[in-house]
């Protein structure tokens, strides 16, 4: 192995680097984390890492094991000291899993975008699309060490201060109706022939008042949950919405925050690729009559972004209606999307966009 030298920051010439490696640098740079790196030949065993370990001192080389349970429906990235022996039963017992084994190379490529023997791109645990099936496990004795590194063509050392700093993570919060899918109540108004039901949060800022009024009209016409769900089954995402959402989810975390209801949202989430959604629930009688509704929390959109901020997230929000203004104005960056002329006129300070390309570009600019 050639003489190893510590170098600061990303390489000046990235033409011979892999896309995965460059994304790690992009991620660290976006968070404002300073780092040093060592370029070295690929190594396949922990014994081959001794020279790297010495060059990174006082950091230590750790090994990263990509594991799965017996059903192969949960995956874990285990980080442990390089000289510690892996005992499957011990780790499985600690995390409450069934028997653990090494995941396949295909799953490693799919979930981590790396090949066996590579350093795991740990940043993908924070921004990837598979977070629901992930576990991130760090051995307790590794937590006592100052730095962590790995075994690919590049080893990275992050300064000790970064372990203590409160890093901010970006999360994008989107409205659902009018932004990603057509307005459910407008579609139902057209299907049922009841034009009054076209009134939405674009027209009425008080959501409780609006929903109580809607339920009164449904009761008057003898309509219930089934009739609305039949209409929802015919609704497709706005053209370009899924592609926009797919690209956005490939670069950052996304939550849909909506005042709709779980009984309405599920078929729409399936068509959008099952993104995460925070919404409310309906109270439904055995005969299907909608008798009431339960809001997840007061001022749900505003309250949700404030809660995310309280646990270290910076929020970026976008919506089209009155009930989106709270989360938009409370976020680090906020945008109106496909909104009304009146709302845009009342809030000239908020950037307003009409196309997904425009909105995506604006969000990417904030992400850096």
Active-site choice (21, 121, 170, 177): 177
Mark whether 175 is an active-site residue: yes
Strand locations in the chain, DSSP E?
Answer: 7-8, 36-39, 60-68, 75-81, 101-102, 134-138, 148-149, 154-157, 169-174, 253-261, 276-284, 290-294, 313-319, 333-337, 352-353
| Token code pair at residue 259 | 């005042």
Task: Return the residue matching tokens 């339920």.
Answer: 215
Identify which of 65, 19, 27, 63 has the alpha carbon closest to the alpha carbon of residue 155. 63
Active-site choice (21, 121, 170, 175): 175
Identify which of 177, 147, 143, 149 has the alpha carbon closest to the alpha carbon of residue 159. 147
| Token code pair at residue 190 | 């057209």
Question: HSE (CB half, 13 Å, CA atoms) of 353?
Answer: 15
Cis omega (within 30 of 0) for bond into 58: yes
Residue 306: strand, helix, or coil: helix
Mark whether 110 is an active-site residue: no
Residues with a known catalytic role: 175, 177
């Amino acid at each position: 192995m050639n003489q190893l030298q510590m170098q600061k920051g990303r390489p000046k010439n990235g033409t011979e680097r892999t896309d995965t490696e460059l994304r790690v640098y992009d991620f660290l740079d976006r968070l404002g984390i300073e780092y040093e790196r060592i370029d070295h030949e690929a190594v396949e065993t922990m014994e081959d890492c001794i020279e790297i370990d010495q060059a990174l001192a006082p950091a230590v080389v750790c090994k990263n094991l990509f594991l799965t349970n017996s059903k192969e429906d949960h995956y874990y990235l285990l980080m442990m000291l390089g000289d510690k022996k892996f005992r499957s039963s011990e780790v499985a017992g600690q995390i409450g899993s069934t028997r653990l084994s090494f995941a396949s190379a295909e799953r490693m490529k799919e979930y981590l975008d790396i090949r066996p023997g590579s350093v795991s791109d740990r940043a993908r645990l924070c921004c990837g699309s598979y977070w629901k099936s992930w576990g991130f496990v760090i051995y307790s004795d590794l937590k006592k060490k100052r730095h962590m590194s790995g075994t690919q063509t590049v080893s990275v050392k992050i300064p000790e201060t970064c372990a203590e700093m409160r890093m901010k993570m970006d999360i994008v919060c989107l409205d659902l109706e009018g932004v990603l899918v057509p307005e459910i109540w407008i579609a139902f108004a057209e299907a049922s022939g009841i034009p009054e039901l076209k009134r939405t949060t674009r027209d009425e800022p008080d959501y409780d008042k609006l929903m109580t009024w809607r339920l009164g009209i449904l009761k008057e016409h003898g309509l219930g949950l089934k009739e609305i769900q039949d209409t929802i089954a015919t609704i497709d995402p706005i053209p370009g919405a899924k592609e926009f959402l797919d690209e956005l989810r490939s670069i950052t975390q996304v939550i849909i925050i909506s005042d709709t209801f779980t009984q309405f949202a599920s078929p729409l989430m399936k068509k959008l690729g099952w993104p995460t959604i925070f919404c409310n629930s309906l109270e439904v009688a055995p005969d299907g009559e909608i008798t009431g509704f339960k809001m997840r929390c007061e001022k749900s959109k505003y309250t949700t972004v404030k809660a995310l901020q309280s646990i270290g997230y910076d929020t970026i929000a976008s919506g089209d209606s009155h009930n989106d203004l709270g989360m938009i104005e409370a976020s680090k960056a906020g945008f109106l999307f496909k909104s009304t002329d009146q709302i845009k006129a009342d809030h000239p300070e908020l950037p307003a966009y009409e196309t997904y390309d425009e909105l995506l570009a604006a969000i990417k600019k904030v992400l850096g």
